[in-house]
Amino acid sequence: MRKTLIIVGAFLLAILLVLGACAPALQPETETPAKAPEDMIPLTVPDFNFVEKSDRVEPLFEGEEYSATSFFMPKSNSKFQSEVDHLTVHVHLFEDDTSSNKMTNLLLVGASATEIQIGERKATLAYNENNGETIVFHQQGRLVIYSLSAPPFEATTFDEEALKEAAIEGFKAVRF
């Protein structure tokens, strides 16, 4: 009987050791992005002049590691000149998918959203009719990538189509 207990105990100990060694492999891993946010930010967008790029912006959101952003103004005589005040492109890197999901939910607040296809990527187009801001965004694991077009500050009516087109152009320029 004692010999049987020792054998069973040794067997259970061996199983626990094997499971302990395998535990890291059993943990769900958070995917590491193929590119860093600062390497994805565009420096050119059709019909816009590049103004500034920030490679490493300190975290603004819970669970965020950092972000990168670029800023553009419409070119003179472009179709966006009087309809879009500015265009920004952002790439946020989060600690995990849960945090990046929370961020995408924030982008939808107060906006009507539509799923769209841009090249190979599915994205969400969100338009806020109250302030005219338009965002095209895509979540890729821990990354949240979005392009935001804003109307002129003094505008009381907005050219929805121009704002949507500008946000799409900014998203197309992201260097995936």
Domains of the chain: 37-172 (3.40.1000)
Q: Are 117 and 141 in contact (CB under 8 A)?
A: no
Q: Does this model's pTM top 0.95? A: no
Residues 86-134: tens digit of each pLDDT: 999 999 999 999 999 999 999 999 999 999 999 999 999 999 999 999 9
Confidence of residue 33 (pLDDT cuts 50, 70, 90): confident
The structure tokens listed for 22 are 């395998």
H helices of the chain, in order, are 2-26, 37-40, 97-107, 160-172
CA distances from 36 to 89, 97, 119, 146 (A): 14, 16, 21, 15
Residues 140-173: tens digit of each pLDDT: 999 999 999 999 999 999 999 999 999 999 999 9
Integer Cα distance of 41 and 134 in angstroms: 18
Q: What percent of the chain has pLDDT over 90?
A: 80
Q: What angle do CA 57, 84, 142 make, to 5 degrees?
A: 35
Residues 56-76: tens digit of each pLDDT: 999 999 999 999 999 999 999
Q: Are 16 and 40 in contact (CB under 8 A)?
A: no
- Of residues 105 and 32, more confidently modeled: 105
Integer Cα distance of 102 and 40 in angstroms: 21
Average pLDDT in the 47-53 region? 98
Q: Please state the φ and ψ torsions of residue 65, each to the nearest 5 degrees.
A: -85, -55
* DSSP helix/strand/coil, 171: helix
CA nearest to 105, candidates 70, 169, 148, 61: 61
Residue 149 identity = S
Q: What pLDDT is recorded for position 32? A: 77
Cβ-count burial 144-167 (b if 16+ within 10 Å, e if not) = bbbbbbbbbeeeeebbeebbbbbb
